[in-house]
């Protein structure tokens, strides 16, 4: 289903003309875009922002401090709304509510089928409110509205229905132990789950976290990302409308180092689920260990290879590689951000990848046919000199003992970070084939950028850029390719483009990653487990695998007297 929708997005992007973008001349190897028609005069969204407070114990409330923070429209840098800013005290209130709802409330005590009914009703409400939710998502994040409404919202309600279906199918085992014992296992909800989500897919991350936790009977404190707090508040309100008892899901908007830190170190939280950067993943894992040793699942960064083999149909490979990298403005943990192309088709591939990038329609994400909106950013646009950007070498990111200090050093606004990596690509000797510049002079738009002649030791081949920057590398033989593709601290995903079954099978087993997509990419069906090897994370989300994150296994051993059989 998701696969079909994603491929329909692919064809949609293929079919869309770039009429909203006035393509510029190509000067030397670097193309330039004229931007006025693309990014000026942003469309005013047709909805009001109704929910900006914290959601604690079933009520929308102000933060204890009374503080708020602005959330911005990445198209302009203008403030959309001021949102209550939760910190440690609010996390404490939310955890108390979740604790009480778990220890004394109806949610873990109702039948599994009753829980599934709430989730099914929630999915129906998500479908009913698609327009409103998709508008908030695009406004706050900058992703194309067509993507929010036609691809993401259907995926979100599908995930909720998938886990609604699981609620009454969580079985224990009868275990054939030695001795006169009847041994059974009971799967119990783990308790209060703390969930910290990022800004790149705010509602999808909400659904991936909340769906399995609720199906298992857990209660939740969820901290949304400070860049995109709006959609989670509306979704949580709809979940209450669907019949969720108060205190079962609490949503605290706020910053990582205050609210996020308080949640991951809280002594009354039984489990933590985190999606975001590997650097912050280290911090939350440490906080969890240093507090009550709560188990942690981590879905972190990636530098996923997309491999174009020598037998590939180059046109199709270019299109899929383009989609694998540029989808969602390149802001995907599993972006195919190292495009490996066999030497026999390399030159042709570069030329066509450039043509495709130049055709990409960039502009106001509320306009029809737009493939790429602005990058997310949590600050209004400041003077952006590329030279202001300071990059940290990968060794420091990998081995830095104080990840907080590392985070303080980089300019963490996405927009500047991406331009900084582009600069580093040029300086390290990669060939800038197209793009490389900011688009327009308002908001956070960046030209679709393609680098050729990228080498493994360049930062752009090692670090997660999280932007519309494609790095293309050349390879010769399979052994060398496997070694190079695995030569990264990440291991989230890989794409393989080939018609040769043996090549596909060899790569599938050799690549040290959590997902291999063969002749497809970004297929995110609710039933498919997703997660990373190495520094891309721990544990799996989605699918049946995710349920175990929210369950404890209790063994019950009963002595048998005169059993008829063993
Ligand atoms: P981040 O990992 O710092 O933020 C993700 C979430 O963690 C947010 O809700 C944030 O408030 C929270 N957080 C931050 N510091 C925390 C702390 N000390 N304790 C607890 N929670 C904390 O990522 P950020 O700064 O938004 O983006 C930086 C880079 O991270 C991106 O450029 C990208 O490379 C990567 N990233 C990866 C994502 C993925 O899907 N795996 C999603 C978002 C970012
Ligand atoms: Mg925003």
Q: From first to last of the 566 residues of the chain, give the pLDDT tens digit.
A: 344 444 444 443 333 332 222 222 222 222 334 444 567 789 999 999 999 999 999 999 999 999 999 999 999 989 999 999 999 999 999 999 999 999 999 999 999 999 999 999 999 999 999 999 999 999 999 999 999 999 999 999 999 999 999 999 999 999 999 999 999 999 999 999 999 999 999 999 999 999 999 999 999 999 999 999 999 999 999 999 999 999 999 999 999 999 999 999 999 999 999 999 999 999 999 999 999 999 999 999 999 999 999 999 999 999 999 999 999 999 999 999 999 999 999 999 999 999 999 999 999 999 999 999 999 985 433 333 333 334 443 333 333 333 333 333 334 478 888 999 999 999 999 999 999 999 988 889 999 999 999 999 999 999 999 999 999 999 999 999 999 999 999 999 999 999 999 999 999 999 999 999 999 999 999 999 999 999 999 999 999 999 999 999 999 999 999 999 87
Does 226 contact ligand 1 (Cβ within 6 A)?
yes
Does 194 contact ligand 1 (Cβ within 6 A)?
no
- Which 8-state DSSP code applies to residue 174? E
DSSP 30-80: EEEEE-HHHHSSPPPPSS-----SEEETTEEE--TT--EEEEEETTTTEEE
Does 255 contact ligand 1 (Cβ within 6 A)?
yes
Mutate to test the pocket of ligand 1, among 199, 206, 269, 280 (most ligand atoms within 8 A of CB): 280
Of 50, 83, 130, 109, the residue nearest 248 (C-alpha):
109
Distance 443 CA to ligand 2 centre (A): 11
Distance 449 CA to ligand 1 centre (A): 24
Question: Which residue's CA is the closest to the ligand 1 atom numbered 12?
Answer: 256
Question: Which residue's CA is the closest to the ligand 1 atom numbered 28?
Answer: 277
Distance 79 CA to ligand 2 centre (A): 8
Compute the distance between CA of residue 88 and CA of residue 198 in angstroms, rounded to an integer. 19
With 0-12 CB in 10 A as exposed, 13-18 as middle and 19+ as buried, what is 133?
buried
Provide the 3-class DSSP secondary structure of residue 561.
Answer: coil
Compute the distance between CA of residue 82 and CA of residue 24 in angstroms, rounded to an integer. 38
What pLDDT sits at residue 247?
Answer: 98
For the chain, the maximum distance between any two Cα atoms, rounded to a whole number of angstroms, is 89
Distance 73 CA to ligand 2 centre (A): 5
**Ligand found nearest the CA of 514:** 1
Does 312 contact ligand 1 (Cβ within 6 A)?
no
Does 257 contact ligand 1 (Cβ within 6 A)?
yes
Provide the 3-class DSSP secondary structure of residue 436.
Answer: coil
Does 225 contact ligand 1 (Cβ within 6 A)?
yes
Reading the block at residue 296, the tokens are 């942690």
Does 420 contact ligand 1 (Cβ within 6 A)?
no
Distance of alpha carbon 503 from the chain centroid? 29
CA of 417, closest atom in ligand 1: 32
Question: Which residue's CA is the closest to the ligand 1 atom numbered 27?
Answer: 277
Print burial letters for 379-403: b (CB count within 10 Å at least 16), e (below 16).
bebeebeeeebebeebeebeebeeb
Does 466 contact ligand 1 (Cβ within 6 A)?
yes
CA of 302, closest atom in ligand 1: 41
> Helices 501-510 & 478-486, crossing angle to 10 degrees?
30
Distance 44 CA to ligand 2 centre (A): 15
CA of 463, closest atom in ligand 1: 34
* CA distance to 136, 213, 297, 522, 543, per residue, from 530 (Å): 26, 16, 12, 11, 8
> Helices 112-128 & 130-141, crossing angle to 10 degrees?
70
What pLDDT sits at residue 463?
Answer: 96
CA of 197, closest atom in ligand 1: 9
Question: Which residue's CA is the closest to the ligand 1 atom numbered 8?
Answer: 225
**Ligand found nearest the CA of 276:** 1
Distance 230 CA to ligand 2 centre (A): 8
Find residue 559's DSSP bridge partners.
181
Distance 225 CA to ligand 1 centre (A): 8
The catalytically annotated residue of 226, 299, 319, 371 is 299
CA of 378, closest atom in ligand 1: 26
CA of 227, closest atom in ligand 1: 26
Q: What angle do CA 225, 399, 193 make, to 5 degrees?
A: 35
Question: Which residue's CA is the closest to the ligand 1 atom numbered 13?
Answer: 256
Of 257, 250, 141, the residue nearest 203 (C-alpha):
141
| pTM listed for this prediction | 0.91
Does 280 contact ligand 1 (Cβ within 6 A)?
yes
* 46 CB neighbour count, 10 Å cutoff: 9
Of 526, 535, 502, 529, the residue nearest 515 (C-alpha):
529
DSSP H or E stretch at residue 555: strand 551-559
Q: Is 319 a catalytic residue?
A: no
Provide the 3-class DSSP secondary structure of residue 14.
Answer: helix
Find residue 60's DSSP bridge partners.
55
Reading the block at residue 81, the tokens are 């709304």
What pLDDT sits at residue 396?
Answer: 36
Question: Which residue's CA is the closest to the ligand 1 atom numbered 20?
Answer: 260
Question: Which residue's CA is the closest to the ligand 1 atom numbered 35?
Answer: 277
Question: Which residue's CA is the closest to the ligand 1 atom numbered 10?
Answer: 256
What pLDDT sits at residue 565?
Answer: 84
Does 300 contact ligand 1 (Cβ within 6 A)?
yes
Distance of alpha carbon 379 from the chain centroid? 20
What pLDDT sits at residue 17?
Answer: 30
């Amino acid at each position: 289903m998701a696969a079909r929708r994603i491929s329909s997005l692919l064809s949609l992007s293929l079919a869309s003309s770039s009429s909203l973008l006035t393509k510029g001349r190509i000067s030397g190897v670097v193309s330039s875009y004229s931007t006025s028609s693309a990014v000026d005069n942003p469309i005013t969204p047709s909805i009001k922002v109704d929910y900006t407070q914290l959601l604690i114990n079933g009520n929308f409330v102000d933060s204890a401090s009374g503080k708020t923070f602005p959330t911005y429209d990445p198209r302009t840098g203008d403030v959309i709304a001021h949102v209550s800013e939760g910190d440690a005290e609010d996390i404490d209130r939310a955890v108390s509510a979740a604790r009480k709802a778990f220890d004394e409330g109806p949610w873990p005590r109702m039948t599994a089928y009753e829980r599934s009914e709430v989730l099914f009703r929630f999915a129906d409400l998500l479908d009913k409110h698609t327009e409103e939710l998709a508008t908030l998502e695009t406004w706050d994040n900058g992703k194309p509205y067509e993507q929010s409404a036609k691809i993401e919202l259907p995926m979100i309600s599908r995930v909720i229905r998938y886990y609604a279906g699981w609620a009454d199918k969580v079985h224990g085992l009868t275990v054939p132990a030695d001795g006169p014992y009847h041994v059974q296992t009971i799967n119990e909800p783990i308790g209060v789950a703390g969930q910290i989500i990022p800004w790149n897919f705010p509602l999808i991350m909400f659904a991936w976290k909340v769906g399995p936790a609720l199906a298992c009977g857990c209660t939740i404190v969820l901290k949304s990302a400070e860049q995109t707090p709006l959609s989670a508040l509306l979704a949580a309100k709809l979940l209450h409308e669907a019949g969720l008892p108060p205190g079962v899901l609490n949503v605290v908007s706020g910053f990582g180092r205050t609210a996020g830190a308080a949640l991951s170190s809280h002594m009354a939280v039984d489990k933590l689920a985190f999606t975001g950067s590997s650097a912050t993943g280290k911090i939350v894992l440490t906080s969890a260990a240093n507090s009550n040793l709560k188990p942690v699942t981590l879905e972190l960064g990636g530098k996923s290879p997309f491999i174009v083999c020598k037998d590939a149909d180059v046109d199709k490979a270019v299109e899929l590689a383009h989609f694998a990298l540029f989808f969602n403005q390149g802001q995907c943990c599993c972006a195919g951000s190292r495009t490996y192309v066999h030497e026999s088709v390399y030159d042709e591939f570069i030329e066509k990848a450039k043509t495709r990038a130049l055709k990409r329609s960039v502009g106001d994400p509320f306009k029809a046919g737009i493939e790429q909106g602005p990058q997310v950013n949590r600050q209004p646009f400041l003077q952006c000199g590329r030279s202001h950007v300071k990059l940290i070498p990968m060794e420091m990111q990998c081995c830095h003992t104080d990840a907080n200090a590392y985070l303080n050093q980089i300019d963490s606004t996405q927009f500047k970070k991406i331009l900084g990596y582009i600069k580093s690509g040029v300086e390290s000797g990669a060939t800038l084939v197209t793009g490389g510049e900011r688009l327009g002079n308002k908001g956070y738009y960046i030209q679709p950028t393609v680098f050729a002649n990228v080498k493994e030791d360049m930062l752009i081949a090692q670090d997660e850029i999280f932007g519309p920057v494609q790095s293309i590398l050349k390879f010769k033989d399979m052994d060398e390719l496997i070694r190079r593709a695995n030569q990264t601290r990440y291991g989230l995903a890989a794409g393989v483009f080939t018609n040769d079954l043996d090549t596909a099978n060899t790569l599938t087993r050799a690549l040290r990653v959590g997902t291999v997509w063969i002749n497809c990419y970004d297929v995110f069906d609710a039933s498919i487990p997703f997660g990373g090897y190495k520094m891309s994370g721990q544990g799996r989300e989605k699918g049946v695998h995710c349920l175990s994150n929210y369950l404890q296994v209790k063994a019950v051993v009963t002595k048998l007297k005169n059993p008829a059989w063993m």
